[in-house]
Each structure stands twice: as C-alpha cells, then as structure tokens.
Structure 1
Amino acid sequence: MNDAYRAMSVFEQALDLQPAARADFLDAECAGNNALRKEIEALLRADVASTDFLAQPLTGNTDRSGERLGSYRLLQLIGSGGMGSVYRAERADGAYSKPVAIKLLLYDAGDLRTRFALEQRILGALSHAHIASLLDVGNDQNGAPYLVMEYVEGAPITVYAKQHALDVRTQLQLFLKILDAVQTAHSQLVVHRDIKPSNVLVDTHGEPKLLDFGIAKLVGDSVPSTTRTGLGPLTPEYASPEQVRGEPLGTASDIYSLGVLLYELVTGARPYRITDTRPSAIERVVCETDPPRPSTQMQTRQLGGSARDLDAVILKALAKQSTRRYASCATFAEDLRRWLDGEEVLARQPPWSERTTRILRRYKLAVSVATAATLALLLGSVFALWQAHEASIARDRAERINVFLQDMLGATDHGNLGRNAKLGDILDSARRNADHVLVNDPPTRIATELTLAKTYVTLGDLDNAREAAQSALTLAEQNNLDEAALETRIVLGYILAHRGDFTEAETVLVSARAQALKTGTPRQRGDSAAQLGFLETRRDNAAAAQRWLETALEETPTELIESRAAAMNDLAVVQDSREDYAGALLTIRQGVALLRDAFPLGHPLLAQSLGNLATVLDDSGDHAAASAQYDEALKMKIELLGENHFSVVSTLSTLTWRSVQQKDTTAALGYGARAWAAAKTLSSDNPQISYAAITYAQALMQANRPREALPLAETALKMRKAKLPPDDIYLINTESVLGLVQAQAGDVAAGEALARSAYERQLAKLGEKHVLTVAAKQRVDQVVGLRMPVPKT
C-alpha cells in the first residue's frame, strides 16, 4: 500500500471517531511516521473547514450538558449532526444506575420531527441483543421530543479489531452478530441505510451493537430519501450504487454497506478511494469502479481458510446490481459460516443466469421468454438443494444434478427432438434419461424428479408434474429416505391441490404435516401448513384456510422471503373472500413490499401478488388503483413468463370477468379472446382452461353471441365436473352460466331448469346475499324474461 493510499485510509477511519479519540488513534496508526501523521492531520483540518454538502455537518444548538430532562440529567455531549444531538446522561433520581444515551431534536422542523418519530417507531419495534435498544421517550420543556437509548461505551468495530489484533476468523464471528441484527431489522421491513463502523460499536464486553436508525426507513413507506440526516453526514464510501444514484432503497442496499464494512474489517482499508466529493464523482467511483480483491489488501496471509472463497463472499455482497448480491443477511451469514467450516461457499458458484444464457443461445430461434424464465427457475431449483441436505453430500449431489440437467438441456444435438423442440419435450427426454443415468443414485434421482416436477408446474403441465412428483415419492419410500419423502409430499400435495384432486391432496398433505412436526425443519413445517392452507382455499373453506396460513407465517423463518410472501399472498385472498378488505390489503401489501425489495427487476410471485392486490382493491371499491395494479401485474407476467402461461391466462380471465361486470364489452372480448387462445396451449387438465372458457363465454353473451359462448360454457362445466365435488360453489356457478347460455342460444326450457337448480343450490349453501347467489338469481330472471311474450305496443 503506497503512502498516499495509506494516509487516505487512516484519514477515513479517523473521521469515524470523536475528535477527542483521534490523537490516540493516530499515535497507534502512524507509529513514529511524522510525515504520514502531518498529512492525515492536514486532511482532518481540511475536512472540518470543508463546506461540501456531503462533508460539512450542520451547526447545532449550544451544549446542553447539565440540563435536566424529566427524570434524566444530561452529562456530556457525545455527538451532534443535522437532525439532533446525543448526550451521555443518567437518571437524576438514581432509579437507574447505568448511563444512558439521550438523543435530542435540534430543530423543531416538520420533516425532522416526522423522521424523529419514525426513528422512535422503528426502535420501539426492534428487539435484538446486538441492536442498541430504546429505553424511554419524552418531551423537553419546549415540547421537543427526545429518545432515551441504551448507552454503548465502546469503539467502532474496525478500530476494536485493530486494537485487539483480532484474526480474520474472530472478526467474522463478530461480524456475524451484526448480520443477525440487521436481518432482524429487515424482517420488520426496516432498512438501516447508514451502516458504517461508527454505527457499529463493540462494547467493553466484546459484543457489537448496531446504532443510529436516524435515517432508517420502512420498506414501502414514502419517507423522502436524503443524503444527510442523523448524527453526521452520509459516508459515500459505504453507500450502495443505488443510494448514490438517489434510487429507492431496499434491504439489498444494507447488504452492500455490510459488504463494505466487512471488506474494511478484514483488510483495514475501504474498497474505494473517494477524494472528490462531488455527487457525479462519487457516483463514478461507487457505480463504475471494481474494488481490488480483499485478499490483495490484507496485511496477513494467515486467514484460516480459502482466500479466494472469502474474496468471493465479500465481492458478492459488493455487487453493483442489487439482484446479484445475497438475497438476505441470513444467506450472507450462511455463506460466511460455510467459509468458517471449511466448506465451499455458494458465492463461488457460476451465476445461474449465465449458465441459463449459454443454454438458451442454442435454442434462440425456438425458445420463448416463458422458457427462459422456466430454465432460470429450473437451475435455481438445483441451487436450492444446498439447503436441503447435509452440506458435503448436498454439494456433490447438487453438482451432479446440475451437470445432468445441463447435459440434457444444453446438448448440441437433440437427435429425434429436432431443432424446434419445445421445452416440455426436452424435459420429457430428461426424465427418461434420468431413469438410466441416475439409476444407482436414488437421492439424486429423487431431487432431479422434484426439480422437473416444479418446472412442469411452471409450464402448466400438471399431468407430468404429478407423475414426476409421484415417482420421486415412490423412490423415497422404497429407499427409506424420510427427509426426501417429506419434501416430496409437500410438493406433490401442492400439485394435487392445484389439479383439483382435493381428497388425494389432503391425504398427502396431512401425512406431510405430521412428519414435518415430528422431524422437519422450520421451513418444512411452514411449507406444510401453507400448502394445507392453499388446499382449503381451493376447496373454498376460508376459515380453515386462514388458520393454516396464519400458522405458516408463524412457523416460516423470516429469511425465507418467497415462502413468507407466498403465504401472505394466499392469506390475503382468503381475507378478501371473507370481506376483511382492510386485513387483506395490509397482508398483501406486506408481501408485495417484501418481494419488491428482494426482486426489484420482477418475479412471478410478485406479479401474482400484484394481481391479487388489484383484486382486493377492486373488492374494496378502489377501482382506479386496481386498474393500475392489474396493468402492472399483467405486464410483469408476460415479460417473465410469456403470453401462453397459465398464470397469464388467470390474469387475462380475471380481467375478462372484470370487464363484463363493468359492462365494457369491447375490453371483455379482447381479454377473453387472448385468455382463451393462451389457455388452449396448456396441458389438458389445467384448471385455468375452464376459467378462461367460462369468462370468455360471459363476454360473448354480453356481446349477444350465445352460440359462440355455448361450447365454451360446456367445456368449462365438463372440466369442473371432472375435478370438483358436486356441491362446489364454482361448479354450481358454472352450471348457472351455462343455463343462461343455453336459454339465449334457443333451448329455453333446458336453460331454465339448469339455472333454477343452480340458484336453489347456491341459496341453500351461501345464503341470499352472497355475490354468487345474487348472480344466479339474476340469471334465472334473465332466462324467465326470454320465455315471456314481448308486450305489444
């Protein structure tokens, strides 16, 4: 490290210290190098004199040390910035012997008061051993608010590590505690936004504490972003690329800042050198400059592990694109623990998107956008195997599955499949080959079958999905692989419920639930409850569905964002069906916020959740907002999955029905035709076919085209009779629609009989006020009107 870089590195660390502590720090760092010390002191003086908006703290009120605030006495000013001042204080009445930290609002401006109240709200919601806790709140004699917080006497984590000569492994153990603290904040939808050494102090017991949520935000809140608030200026070296560009921030921004902190912790230097604090210059450095590999900056080669793997972990956290970083602090911590345990880290795996792209190039004339999304999910499912088994076994198995699937999907010559083979054909070929290639490796074959089953589901091919999942379960049971059997039952139960095979789904899922409670992981317990909730939702048993889904949210670990968001999505649907619109909106918006933060470029589950948010908004009467959400959901689904996907069919069918209700016949016909055209490409048992058929039939009826509507309504009824019990309300509703269609097509007697029967059954089951009962009664009235003679004029 050259002298200039060394001077800048020490200068930047000195900035994080209080002025009184800098002399001792420079004594230790400069160690007799007077030239180095003079240069650093000159930089510090220049920093104080600077008027740059990123470097100059706002001047505050006079020192209030000695003043009494309620039960507390201010002892010493320990920090001041644009939003407030912090004092070491004590209880004046002696009721609490430990010192506390009191944060005061400097200016009673509306925006600062709002942000101060938000900090109080955030701190009050967080409880963690490594987050400085909120003890009390109050108002001074002028009515200005103050916060009483845990006082942490210690040093910034980077300074502590140097003072105690911590080795890399000990540094990582310390850092893991902060990751856990930030994960807790993220699980409460709190983004810190200012993680840096001065906000991570290590106390006299060697325990780290995360401080200063002064510029934190809640995911989804509309708190304006700022470049400086809290107790000091925003430190650009710790800001994420999206933060310096002024873009909306999510939890990925904190993960980036944690990556910078870890880089500095293990190397003693920050990854970037910023000497020009103009915004454009900062953006250029942070967004366009790649940092040196951490191992090249370390002062020691005694790491106690692979330098290349540790580089990979840190640089993954520092990825310029937020989607390439760790998905959560939990996964970041998990990879660090792998390194500590001597295992290969996930950060070293080649990016799945790159592998997928290489495969897709060989099918660029034949593979659709839907296929691209499916392949990405397929390879991602293999990746998930790392978490499903004991680590060393899982690594070998995951690699074997990956090689097998890529050999099948990426082969240069598919022989009999031909140049324009569909992905479904390729997956069928992969299944046949798995029977031979993996015949002596049941665990790997089971995992492969499960991966293929999930992929068939994304294609809407529920027949092959069921077959693959059933094959996996049979193998697991034959080989007494209990853990694999549990995982397979959960997947199979979902597929069966999705198909409408409710009795069989219940048998499988009840068995899975019992096993999950006995020997399963927290994720498996949550998944088993969620799938039972999904089953009850499909059976229109709202009360039971809500109980299961609430259980799933209680049991699913907070770091499993997709699982929690999926449960929130399903729970909101149930709450909406029970007309709990406020509860449904709260639940679905929480799920949407989690997914937007985790997948800023979009995700199929996010698109599905947006569609359900639109439905709840519609049902609650906010039709304008619903329209905007429907548009976003449909656009995202088509971009990710392609037009001919069952999830797209579902949204198009919903929009068809919605347009019918709004008497917008032109829009209804447009959506209906698109939905039906896409539905005809799905596997023959996909329930979205009947949904598309019945909604398009209603659009055609509204357009006075009953003869075109008749075969669609008949198709819908035939499919639903094959899957649903006779008393299912949606089956009865389909009969009601068909009765009206038959009548308008000319067979009034048959239509009236069917429509009346459907109405009487809905009335008995749902009561006269239910929306489906009301609709059935209206259809009976319409049919009766068809047989009445037209009055003469």
Structure 2
Amino acid sequence: MSELDWQEVETIIDEVLDLPQDQHPAFIQKRCKNNKTLKIEVTQLLNSIFESEGWLDNPSTYKKEFYNELGNEIESITEENSLIGKKVGSYSIKSILGEGGMGTVYMAERDDKKFDHKVAIKIIRHGRATQSNIQRFKREQQILANLSHRGIAQLFDGGVTDDGFLYIIMEYVNGMPIDEYCRKYNTSIDDKIELFKQVLQAVRHAHENLVIHRDLKPGNILVDQSGNVKILDFGISKLHQEEDASLTQTGARLLTPKYAAPEQIKETNITTATDLYALGIIFYQLLAGAFPFNFEDISQHEIEHIILKKDPSSPSSSVDSITLKKKLRGDLDAIVLKAIRKEADQRYRVANDFLSDLENYRKGLPVTARQNSVQYRSKKFFQRHKQGLATVVGVILLIIGFASFYTWRIAKERDQARFEAERAEQVKNFMLQMFNTGNPDMKSYAGNNATVNDLLLAGFHRTERELNDQPKIYIEMLSAIGDALSNVDAFETAKEALTKALNRSITHYGEKSLQTANIHSHLSSYYHEVHKYNLAEKHIRKAIDIKIQLYGDNSPELAEPFAIYASNQFLQSQYQKAENLFLKSDSLKKRYHKTDNISYHVTLANLGETQLFLGEYGLAEKHFKKALSYFKNYYEHSHPEIARTKYRMGLLYHRTSKHKKAESYLLEALEEFIKLYGPNSSELSASYGLLARNYRVLSEWEQAEKYALKDIDLTKSIYGDSSVIYAKSVNNFAIIQKAQGNLQQAKNNYEKSLAIYRSKMDSTNPDLAIPMYNLGDVLMDLGKYSKAQKLLKQVITIDKLRLGEKHPEVGLDLNKLGSILMKAKKYAKSDSIFTKAKPIYENHFPQDHYRIGEFFMNYGLLKYHQQNFSISEKYFSKAVSIFKKNFNDNDLRIQKALSYIKNIKERHHKR
C-alpha cells in the first residue's frame, strides 16, 4: 500500500473508533465512498483490532488498554513528525516512507558529505514503547544483524536517539511491492516464477539461520528497479525452536489475515512451513491475479473459519484466459496448492523443496507436488522427448487404470489389502524400471535415445522373462504393452502380447471375467488397426457380452466397449449403427457422471465425426467444439486429440462450403501433426489429401497440386504402391487433374486407383463407391455415357445401403447420374433423377453451399436443353448467386453460368 493510502486508512480508523460500534458500517461506507480497496483495508484492520482474542476474552479491559495506547500515539504524533530534519547518527531524516503497527520508517540521507547514501531508519513510536514491543524491536535488530543475504534488507546500525527513540538503520530499497511490480510491468508467468525464486532463496537463508518471518506479504517484499527482490520487516520474526510467550500473548495478533496460516489463527506452533504457506498465497496471487479465498465484506470470525476449513480453488480455475488456464493447470496448480495446505506437515517443509519443484517445472521434470505415479512421471518424460513418444501414453493410462482397479479391490476385499497394495507398487516400479538407464534391454538408452518401440519391446521381454510366475501382473502388463504396441504399428509383437495375455487370463481368471473382457477390448482395437474388422467386431462383442453377464445391460462398465464397437462400425461405414452405439456410450457416461474426463470427450469427438458422415452437420460441429475446447484446456502441449479434432473441424467446414474456415483448421491440424510425429508420418496423409481437395474447390491449383503430390509421395513411401491408402492419394490427385481439364490423365489415375481397391476388397465393400463415382464422372466428360451410367448406378446402390436413401452422398450420386443422362440426351430420365435429388440437397445442405449451386447449374442446363429458357435462367441465376458467395468472380463456374444467362437473354432479344 502506498504512503498516502496507509495514512488515509489510519485516519479513518482513528475517526471510526470515536463512534459507537453500531455506527461503524455506515460511517465506513460514507468515508470510503466508491473506493472498494480502501473499504476492505479499513474493515479488515478494524476487525483485526476489535475481534482479536484479547478483545473477545475481555472486551472492556482490552478496549480501555487499546484507547490508552491510541491516545499515547495521538499525543506523540506531533513529536514524531518533528523528527523530519533531525539527525540520527550520521544521517539526516528527510521523509516518512511508511508507518506500521509498531513504528515509523523514514528515509534519511548521510549528511557528512563524504558520499551520497540513502538509508531507511525505523523508529519505535513512544505510544508503542511497551515492554513487549521494545523486546520485538530489539529482536529485529538481532535478527537482521545475523542475516546477510542480497534478498534481505541489510542492517547497518541501531541504538537510541537523543530524544529517547529506539531506532535501527537499514538498507533503503527504492522499489515497489512484488504484486504491484508484476502488474505494472505485465510480467509473464515464467518471469514471475524467476522473481519468486529470489524470494524463496532469501527466505531459505533466513530459515537456515533459524529465523521465521511470520508476516510475509507483498508489502514486505519489494522489487527494485533492477528487478531484484528485497524482503523487509522482520519485526515479528521468531527464532526457530525458541518459545516466546510475549509474541503470542492475549491481545491483537501480529499477522495479516490474507496471508495467515491456519496455525497462526489457532495460535499453535509456528514453523518454517508457516512462512511457506504465506509464500504460497503470494505465489497464487502473482500467478492468478487473485486470492485463493474471498475475504471481502466478511467478519474476522468468518475469515478465520475460511482459513481453517475451506479448501482453496486452484489458480487455473481463478483465471478467465484459456491460454493462462493451460499454463497454470497441472504442475503450477499442484505446487501452489501444496504450499497452502491446511496441515503444516503436508506443505513444503523447507524453502529448498519449493525451489526444487519450481526448477523441475522449468526443466520439464516431475515435481513432488504431483502424485508420484507412473502416469505423471512418464508424462514428463514424454514432454522432454516428445518426438516419437506421444502414442505410448496409452500404456501409462492403462497402468493407472490398474491402480484404480486395485483401489476398488482393496475397498471390496479388505482381507487382501496388503497384497493388492504391494501388487500395485510392483507394477509401478516395474514400469519405472523400463525408463532406467541401466536396463539391459535398452543398451543405447541414455535418457533420450530410446524409441517408443525400444521401451515397449523391452517391457514385453522383461514381462516374459521376469513375471511369468506372477499371473496377475503378467496379464496386466502384457495387455497394456500389447495395446500400446498396436498404437505404434508394431503389430506382430502386439498380437503376440495380447494373445498371450488373453490365454493366461482365461486360464487364471476364467472366460467370463472382467480381465478377460478387457483384453478382448484391446484385441478389438488391435484388429481395427490392421483393418480386420470382422475379427475386431468378434472380440468387442465378446467383451460386451461378458460385461452384460457380470454387471447387467446398464452398467458403466459398458460405456467404453460400446464406444469401441461404435468405432468398429464407423470404420466399416456403418454410420447409423455407429451413431447409435456412441449415443449408448454417451448415455451411460452421463448417467454415472463420468463426463469430466478425456475418455468421454474422445468418444464425443468420435460421435461428432460419425454425425459428420451422416450429414448431421449441426450436431457434429457442436460435439467437435466441445471436445476441442476440453482437449485444449486439458493438454499442456500439442496432442494427437487436438490435431485430430482440428482436422475433423476442417472436414466439416469443407463439406459445409466454408472453405476458408476449413483451410485454417486444416493447416493448424497439419502443423500439430508435424510437431507430434515429424514430417514423414502416416498421420499427415489425410491432412494433405483434404487440403488438396479444399484448394481444388477454391481453384487454387498450385496449392492443390502441392498437397496432393505430398500425399502421394508419403503414402507410397510408407504403405507401398499397391495399398488402398496409396490408391486414395492417387484418386485425390486425379480429381485435381480432371478439374483442370486433363481428362485422360485423370481417367488413367482413377482406373489405377479403382484397380487397387478391387484387388483389396470384395465387390460389396462401401469404400469402392469413391473411385467408382470419380471414374464415372470423368467418363461422362469423355463422352462414355453408358459406362459412366453403369458405374453411378452401382455407387447409388452402395451408398443407399450404407447411408440411407436421403443421405447427402446419395444426393450427390443422383445429381451426377442426372448429369450423365442429360449429356446422353435422355432428358426425361435425367429430369426424373434430378427431381429425386432436389429435396435431399435442400434438406441437408446449407442454402449457400456450393453443392446446391452445382445442382442448380445442372438442372438449369437440363431445362436449357429442353428449351425451357425461363426456368433455365432462374436456376442459372440461383447458381451464380451461390457461387459468388463461395468463389472469386472469375471462377469458371460463375463465368459458365453467366454465359448461359447472356445467351438466353440474347435469344429472348432476337425474338
């Protein structure tokens, strides 16, 4: 608080104490007017005076003593002010720096002209010269004399003035309170941490010299113009392990409520943890710009109750900025909350521990404030060595799942508590050993050289070698490692690990056990990865059947299997079935309040993607946005779920004709994928392909070709030139060739793509519809109408079967078939097909979607060929209006429509 503010507070306090107590609130409100900060300070100081234990225990005696002291101070004001201009030793007092509960601090300058030197001189007030205060004043002299640290204001001298005032001469600090400094210079979180580390270093020095400050607050921690911290005011400090009844005797307690620890409120033993509590409050204030507790307009009793009983919210929950939330969530939240725990023995016991955690945070190492779990320690390892490691997180999450299972077992089977606890610890230690530099299975590993496969294969072999005689741990480890190996494409070993885990689980737990069901789920995920969807479905159905038998058909245990089964159906293009299963999973998680977690939001994003393919664009967007917001807040760095959801948003906006918005999300997704997996990962293929299609629609041909060719090169190098994924890339490039008029080249590439598809799939596979549609499209442009018509009829049959007769994809198919029939001059059949397509377009696409423009263009052409020119012009005009909302004015589609309108008008004019 500034000098002027403090004087105003004391003036108001002086005035209010002259009034009856029932008039205090109204008077304070009148004097403070709209100054909320002033009102808070006055109210808190008044409460501290009148509601302290001495006041409550014996109000009449205490009040009399208080007014006597107050009167002495008022009588001495003139005398003390007269000290300005007087000499203390070699120094001349120039001005008042501040006033506290025991004395006044002056700025003084050396007046012997030998050199310029400013100091701070603290002089005890006459009215406060009680025996206990004199004792405290002398104590401060003693304490400061024993402390020599750059972060603590230095003691130069002390004694008694000629007028009988006790004084000490200290280092003058030309600075401002640490919180004001951070606000004024808008310091970053990292800069605040570095500043706070200076505070901890100074407090550590005091503690090492057996000194506890007991009143740490921003006003006692100044930052000078060079950014150096200085701690002031050791006036109520306590020498550690020294008993001093005078400092805790009945009377006004010497503390600042906002920063007071529970033990200070209860007046129990004060330790170094007391100072660290105050520092935790200050650190919270610096990071969040707020206090962990709201003490506004409440009594001292209520303040004390909050300090003793109420748990603080985390710093991240006290800020509005999403970026700042992400920065604080996790380590910094944990560090702050550990420092301000109610129980002193649960806080940091020494400043060095606090410092170590902040240093570990800076280096990306684990901090002691977080639970010392495999999940957490591994997460920090992955952040330091992110390249290639992100996908192995599944192992660690599964281990945490095991720990949760153990906890449940302990609660259910109390007789096995010790055994289960030991088993959980054994699993944890086993996993940590996988990261040990001495592991013989990872000879090249020295903390940063191991690949994901190195770590997982080492774990697999260690499990086989060391845990074969411990079936429970053996099953759990192989199941977790096998699941993770499939995530990093080590499919052969993944299958071996999961199969061994399943066989041992059936033998040990039984065929209808929870453990066996969970391994069936992992095997289902494995078979998804290798595109063996029938086997994937077989295993997930077994998992679901087992869990229904064990728990019933409304158990929360079914939520995850339903989600896995839904993904299986999605990958087979059974979108309606997938949506129903995702909704079942969603319903169970909501019913059992299991929605505030990553698993729920991953399922939500998958549901959104399913709804996107069903043409339910509004629902898809809603679920994507909710999932993406959660992922951004949850993960501290780039993460696959963030990248995937951004890609899905890009696909959504591409399909809803918001191409610039799509471009933005797709480029962000691509950047995230490259950060996570490097420039040659299979994860980039879909982003390259969709960017190419999006730029094609925007007629940005150079960009379209660039990304299409990147996609082809990538998929060929990873999967080979006979894979379906490579065929998709070739198909994508052919679309661009066709759009640029290179019809024969496009036809050749479509045929190449379709041949690969047919060699890998049976004739009923819905994925065949994509290359068949595109080949039919280019055959139409080449005048091969019969072949084109045959292909499009097959496509319509496939899409109706998998998507339903009213799906937007079926609308596109009908539009293309109508166009083929029109070019073949089968106008009546064409009109019939367009009539079927029209309501699908109108019901499923936004009114200004470019696809509706294409439909209007085609229907206008049909009416033109039928010489129904008035209707034709109407549809051409509609097409132009929509195209202009999506493309530049020189787009070929716009120019073509305008040329037909011009031709129609000329025909009409000639008539």
| Structure 1 and Structure 2 fold alike (TM over 0.5) | yes
1:260 aligns to 2:289 (yes or no):
no
Alignment of 1:92-107 (within 5 A): none
1:346 aligns to 2:373 (yes or no):
yes
Question: What is the SS of the residue equivalent to 1:248?
Answer: helix
1:440 to 469, 473, 479: 469
1:776 aligns to 2:879 (yes or no):
no
1:294 aligns to 2:348 (yes or no):
yes
Aligned to 1:535: 568
**Quick check: 1:710–1:742 contact (8 Å CA) kept in 2?**
no
Question: What is the SS of the residue equivalent to 2:637?
Answer: coil
1:643 aligns to 2:679 (yes or no):
yes
Alignment of 1:312-391 (within 5 A): 320-321=361-362, 335=371, 345-346=372-373, 353-354=380-381, 371-374=388-391, 386-389=403-406, 390-391=420-421
Aligned to 1:490: 521
The TM-score with structure 2 as length reference comes to: 0.50
**Quick check: 1:496–1:505 contact (8 Å CA) kept in 2?**
yes
1:155-203 Cα distance to aligned partner (Å, 9 max, x none): 87954344347899xx99xx9xxxxxx9xxxxxxxx9863435569663
CA distance in 2 between partners of 1:583 and 1:219 (Å): 27
| CA drift at 1:786 | 8.8
Question: What is the SS of the residue equivalent to 2:651?
Answer: helix
1:550 aligns to 2:586 (yes or no):
yes
Question: What is the SS of the residue equivalent to 2:349?
Answer: helix
| TM-aligned CA distance change 1:156 to 1:474, over 3 Å | farther
| CA drift at 1:476 | 1.7
| CA drift at 1:323 | 7.0
| CA drift at 1:486 | 3.5
Give the residue type in structure 1 aligned to 2:46.
A
Aligned to 1:399: 429
| CA drift at 1:757 | 2.0
2:305 to 184, 203, 206: 203
Alignment of 1:289-688 (within 5 A): 294-296=348-350, 320-321=361-362, 335=371, 345-346=372-373, 353-354=380-381, 371-374=388-391, 386-389=403-406, 390-403=420-433, 407=439, 410-412=442-444, 431=460, 435-460=464-489, 465-480=494-509, 482-513=513-544, 515-516=546-547, 518=550, 525-538=558-571, 539-541=574-576, 543-551=579-587, 553-554=589-590, 561-682=597-718, 688=725
1:194 aligns to 2:290 (yes or no):
yes
CA distance in 2 between partners of 1:771 and 1:632 (Å): 27
**Quick check: 1:529–1:549 contact (8 Å CA) kept in 2?**
yes
1:219-252 Cα distance to aligned partner (Å, 9 max, x none): 75xxxxxxxxxxxxxxxxxxxxxxxxxx633373
| CA drift at 1:609 | 1.2
| CA drift at 1:634 | 0.6
Question: What is the SS of the residue equivalent to 2:608?
Answer: helix
Aligned to 1:762: 799
2:45 to 3, 14, 19: 19
Whose Rg is larger? 2
1:665-696 Cα distance to aligned partner (Å, 9 max, x none): 44333323322332235568997556445434
Structure with the larger RCO, 1 or 2 (CA within 8 Å, 6+ apart): 1
| TM-aligned CA distance change 1:698 to 1:349, over 3 Å | closer
CA distance in 2 between partners of 1:620 and 1:733 (Å): 19
| CA drift at 1:385 | 5.0
CA distance in 2 between partners of 1:781 and 1:197 (Å): 69
Unaligned runs of 5+ in 2: 1-39, 54-100, 103-131, 145-152, 154-166, 169-173, 184-256, 278-283, 296-301, 407-419, 827-864, 866-911
CA distance in 2 between partners of 1:573 and 1:479 (Å): 39
1:401-437 Cα distance to aligned partner (Å, 9 max, x none): 44357647622499xxxxx999769966875675445
| TM-aligned CA distance change 1:686 to 1:447, over 3 Å | farther
Aligned to 1:715: 756
**Quick check: 1:657–1:668 contact (8 Å CA) kept in 2?**
yes
| CA drift at 1:382 | 5.6
Identity fraction in percent? 11
CA distance in 1 between partners of 2:592 and 2:133 (Å): 51
CA distance in 2 between partners of 1:215 and 1:440 (Å): 47
Question: What is the SS of the residue equivalent to 1:294?
Answer: coil
**Quick check: 1:356–1:379 contact (8 Å CA) kept in 2?**
no
CA distance in 2 between partners of 1:413 and 1:572 (Å): 41
Question: What is the SS of the residue equivalent to 2:665?
Answer: helix
CA distance in 1 between partners of 2:433 and 2:547 (Å): 31
| CA drift at 1:384 | 6.3
CA distance in 2 between partners of 1:203 and 1:735 (Å): 73
Deviates more, 1:745-754 or 1:606-615: 745-754
**Quick check: 1:679–1:692 contact (8 Å CA) kept in 2?**
yes
| CA drift at 1:635 | 0.8
CA distance in 2 between partners of 1:30 and 1:621 (Å): 77
Question: What is the SS of the residue equivalent to 2:636?
Answer: coil
| CA drift at 1:641 | 1.1
CA distance in 2 between partners of 1:598 and 1:251 (Å): 10
Question: What is the SS of the residue equivalent to 1:721?
Answer: coil
| TM-aligned CA distance change 1:324 to 1:624, over 3 Å | farther
1:245-271 Cα distance to aligned partner (Å, 9 max, x none): xx633373586356334324479799x
| TM-aligned CA distance change 1:558 to 1:687, over 3 Å | farther
**Quick check: 1:752–1:780 contact (8 Å CA) kept in 2?**
yes
Give the residue type in structure 1 aligned to 2:809.
L
CA distance in 1 between partners of 2:403 and 2:822 (Å): 64
| TM-aligned CA distance change 1:587 to 1:375, over 3 Å | closer
**Quick check: 2:659–2:694 contact (8 Å CA) kept in 1?**
no
Alignment of 1:53-202 (within 5 A): 54-55=179-180, 159-164=261-266, 194-196=290-292
CA distance in 1 between partners of 2:635 and 2:316 (Å): 26
1:272-327 Cα distance to aligned partner (Å, 9 max, x none): xxxxxxxxxxxxxxxxxxxxx923359xxxxxxxxxxxx59x9658964597678x
Q: Matched residue pairs, number? A: 567
CA distance in 2 between partners of 1:659 and 1:691 (Å): 17
CA distance in 2 between partners of 1:193 and 1:556 (Å): 36
1:117-163 Cα distance to aligned partner (Å, 9 max, x none): xxxxxxxxxxxxxxxxxxxxxxxxxxxxxxxxxxxxxx879543443
Question: What is the SS of the residue equivalent to 1:646?
Answer: coil
Question: What is the SS of the residue equivalent to 2:324?
Answer: coil
| TM-aligned CA distance change 1:258 to 1:34, over 3 Å | farther
Question: What is the SS of the residue equivalent to 2:290?
Answer: coil
Give the residue type in structure 2 aligned to 1:645.
S
| TM-aligned CA distance change 1:510 to 1:382, over 3 Å | same
CA distance in 2 between partners of 1:592 and 1:248 (Å): 17
CA distance in 2 between partners of 1:731 and 1:690 (Å): 11
CA distance in 1 between partners of 2:343 and 2:445 (Å): 49
CA distance in 2 between partners of 1:348 and 1:468 (Å): 21
Give the residue type in structure 1 aligned to 2:609.
V
CA distance in 2 between partners of 1:764 and 1:348 (Å): 45
| CA drift at 1:554 | 1.8
Question: What is the SS of the residue equivalent to 1:410?
Answer: coil
| TM-aligned CA distance change 1:158 to 1:496, over 3 Å | farther
